[in-house]
Amino acid sequence: MSKVLETRLEIDLNALEANFKLLKSYLSPGTKMMGVVKAFAYGTDSIIIGKHLVKIGAQHLAVAYIEEGVRLRKAGVEVPILVFYPQLEEIQNLVDYQLTPSVYTHRFLEGLCQELTHHEVDALGVHLKINTGLNRLGFELSELDSILTHLESEKKIKVAGVFSHLAASGNKNEVEFTKSQIAKFEEARGFFKTHLEYSFESHICNSSGILNFPEAEFDMVRAGIALYGYGNNPEEHRLLKAVASLKTVIAQLRTIQKGDSVGYERKFKAEQTTKIATLPLGYADGISRIFGNGKAQVLVNGKKAPIVGNVCMDTLMVDVTGIACEEGDEVEVFGKNNTVVDFDLQQQTIPYEVITRISQRVTRVLV
């Protein structure tokens, strides 16, 4: 059997739809949903996921870079697509494929106006990003007047949206901080509503924001990790269904004796007679070395089996002592029955990182 058939990432659109409907249930009927499909839709497949999100009711999509938006347009996606981190050198593609840039600095705003003049573009809608406390990207509240002055002098730019990003909406210990972010955003939103002669869309809620602060839904929300089945705390995880399931098979079984070692650098040494299964999956497929040496576990015929020794480039080994299994048996690395949180035994990282790391050499399969 070829590896592409043995190792695969299964994508469950029914689970995606269930998560979408759950998130919508927290919102008012008229609130729009923006589906975030950056980074290959969190490691799945941006075309498959993006198209299905539009089919089930997403009015907007969002990506990180212009190239990602172009890929969606070429696949036939027609809804507005917000680009979080647009690059000035790609403005022609942004214009040609009718993508919407996020604008978060005066430098980019000025550069964008110059590029639009150069490319003979009459007008372009943008979403202004406001920094309310994440302190990553965005205009400060103190810059609102200068932004307005720039907009009034440069008619090529039209504000299609104003947004911000919550820093800790999934953390119950940071409720007051989140509320302060929402209040700052309301101040910025109110400023532009007062001074602009046209309407625009406002959004601040991310996945955890939707689940924990639906009162801050404004005109639209941005659903990211929750669409794919994970949240930012155990309560959120339990509400959602995993969309992606990484599966493989047992390539070989062997029994080793006390004192025998497994893998590079002999990091695992058997303390008793041990049955070892080798899986055709490694760090080149996205399973990091941090998960070796007992820090993660897979599911073999319904039983948990820890990874032992160092993860290799194309393979990893698991301890299947006491588990009835044979070569060729299916293994769920993570998915519906062994969630990413279950897989990552010692919580070495976050679900976002695990699923977005699965490399493109792993075949995506719809189920």
In this prediction the pTM is 0.94
107 is in an annotated binding site: no
Looking at residue 1, its pLDDT comes to 42
313 is in an annotated binding site: yes
CATH code: domain 12-239 is 3.20.20.10
Assess whether pLDDT exceeds 50 at residue 121. Answer: yes
In terms of Cβ atoms closer than 10 Å to its own Cβ (0-12, 13-18, 19+), residue 271 is: exposed
Segment 209-232 mean pLDDT: 96
Please state the domain extents for the chain.
Answer: 12-239, 245-366
150-160 confidence digits (pLDDT tens): 999 888 899 99
Q: Which residues are catalytic?
A: 38, 264
Assess whether pLDDT exceeds 70 at residue 70. Answer: yes
Helix (H, G, I), strand (E, B) or coil at 134: coil
User: What fold is seen in the domain 245-366?
Assistant: Lyase, Ornithine Decarboxylase; Chain A, domain 1 (2.40.37)
Segment 121-149 mean pLDDT: 96
Of the candidates 78, 18, 12, the residue with the CA atom closest to the CA atom of residue 223: 18
273-282 confidence digits (pLDDT tens): 999 999 999 9
Domain 12-239 matches domain 245-366 at the CATH topology level: no
